[in-house]
Chain A
Amino acid sequence: MDDSATTESATKEAATSGPDWPLEIYRTLKAFGVSQISYVPDAGHSRLIELSHGDGAIKTTVLTTEEEGVALSAGAWLGGDRAALLMQSSGVGNCVNMLSLLASCRIPLLTLVTMRGEWAEFNPWQIPMGKATPQAFEIMGVTVLRLERPEDAAEVVSAAASLAYESDQQVAVLISQRMLGRKKWTETR
């Protein structure tokens, strides 16, 4: 996770560059009846996290590690809720064993993953997991979709949600780092 000053500047940049795609994703999740959202924070998800916390009809859960969200999504489905899990690519490897729960029980998963390590990355430590992210999902049978352009957000997330909740698939939407905006190291305080 980033320090708060960096988070703030990254968020500001994303918010001013084109369509309000986090709002589009939020509206799509609402249209699909999603009522549980869990997350490990990421700057790229900060607006969607705020929208989730601000919505009394969505039970929002902050996690200590990403695989908790995989197990939580399974419990939500067992209880009759639709869940979505937000994380950044660095956390995908943490989920691998827990994904076997969803495969064994054919339980839906919708996870939205902000990418690091693929576009103008300044931190070399982000690159190995970023590069391995699609394969880490695919070895566990998760379908990987790409969201490259803000204007496609609703359509891609809607397709992923149908695959997940209606066809009992585990689906990850990788949100490209290019779309999130180049990170600025402007100190805000």
Chain B
Amino acid sequence: MARNFGSLDRRQAVQALLADRGDLLVVSGLGSSSYDVFDAGDHPGNFYLWGAMGGAAMVGLGIALARPQRPVAVITGDGEQLMGIGSLLTIAAHKCANLSIVVLDNGHFGETGMQISHSGLGARLDLIASGAGIRSVTEITDLKGVAEFRGELHHITDGPRLAIVRIASGHVERVLPPRDGVYLKNRFRENLGLAVT
């Protein structure tokens, strides 16, 4: 059933993306993407979504607009991005230069029984993103590509950009980040120097 969609190890890929992260702010989408980002190293500049399916990219846009001098990365799965597919149009229309979206694409709904996603059934997220008007769209199939894109993640003048990372669909152990939303909010804001109210 679960045909091999890509070959990259998702944990390795996300670790490589977040290596020497500097002042990068990260929003992770519901499901395995949140586990991947946490596994790469917990950080107060991470905001893990445990719900709000389809909303990760828009949360990232709100942060990026509020903090134009900071690079912002949304790391999410194909299923999560598909549910908020219209947000690609909204982000493209804004030409938000400091925002990157990384879609970890295994062509499956990994959290819910590995049903094949629209991406797995042939939808081309790269073409959809280009058609929406996202300035830079990259397809990544190996760790060399991940390393190259890691550098771009830190640029704050030439976004928005989107990368499709072709990951393997095999099972990966769950590694659970904190689930308390108020805690995650407060530490994210505190890390930006904002008062906890």
Task: Report how far A52 CA is from B181 CA in the complex, Å.
Answer: 30
Q: Which residues of B contact A98 (CB under 8 A)?
A: 52, 54-55
B interface secondary structure, majority: helix
A79 contacts which of B87, B93, B192 (Cβ < 8 Å)?
B192
**B contacts with A, residue count (CB < 8 A):** 37
Q: How far is the CA of A90 from the CA of B63 in the complex (A)?
A: 27
A61 touching B66, Cβ below 8 Å: no
A78 to B51, CA, bound (A): 16
Chain B contacts of A76 at CB under 8 A? Answer: 62-63, 65-66
CA distance A74 to B60 in the complex (A): 9
Contacting A at CB under 8 A, from B65-108, are 65-67, 84, 86-87, 89-90, 93-94
Q: Which of A63, A68, A73, A78 has the most CB of B within 10 A?
A: A78
Least CB distance from B195 to A in Å reads: 10
Asked if B168 is an interface residue, CB under 8 A from chain A, the answer is no
Assembled-state Cα–Cα distance A154/B38 (Å): 44
Closest CB in chain B relative to A127 CB, distance in Å = 26
Q: Decide if B55 touches A81 in the complex (CB within 8 Å).
A: no
Chain B residues lying within 8 Å of A31, measured Cβ to Cβ, are none
* A81:B62 contact, CB within 8 angstroms: yes
Number of residue pairs A-B, CB distance < 8 angstroms: 117
Contact of A71 with B52 in the complex, beta carbons under 8 Å: yes
Q: Chain A's nearest CB lies how many Å from the CB of B52? A: 4
Question: B75 to chain A: closest CB distance in Å?
Answer: 14
Residue of A nearest to B55 (CB): A71
B188 at the interface (CB under 8 A from A): yes
Contacts of A63 in B (CB 8 A): 86, 90
B47 within 8 A of A: yes
B65 & A36 in contact (Cβ 8 Å cutoff): yes
Question: Is A57 part of the contact surface with B, judged by Cβ < 8 Å?
Answer: no
- Show 30 A/B contacts (Cβ-Cβ < 8 Å), sorted by A: A36-B62, A36-B65, A61-B65, A64-B86, A64-B90, A71-B56, A71-B59, A71-B62, A71-B84, A73-B62, A74-B52, A74-B59, A75-B59, A75-B60, A76-B63, A78-B63, A78-B66, A79-B62, A79-B64, A80-B66, A80-B67, A81-B62, A83-B62, A98-B55, A100-B51, A100-B52, A104-B51, A105-B184, A106-B185, A166-B197
Show the binding face of B for A, using Cβ within 8 Å: 25, 27, 47, 49-56, 58-67, 84, 86-87, 89-90, 93-94, 181-182, 184-185, 188-189, 192, 194, 197
Beyond A68-B84, A72-B62, A101-B52: 16 further Cβ-contacts under 8 Å? A67-B54, A67-B55, A68-B86, A69-B58, A71-B54, A74-B52, A75-B60, A75-B65, A77-B62, A78-B62, A78-B66, A78-B188, A78-B189, A79-B63, A79-B65, A101-B181
Contact surface of A with B, Cβ cutoff 8 Å: 35-36, 59, 61-65, 67-81, 83, 97-98, 100-101, 104-107, 166, 168
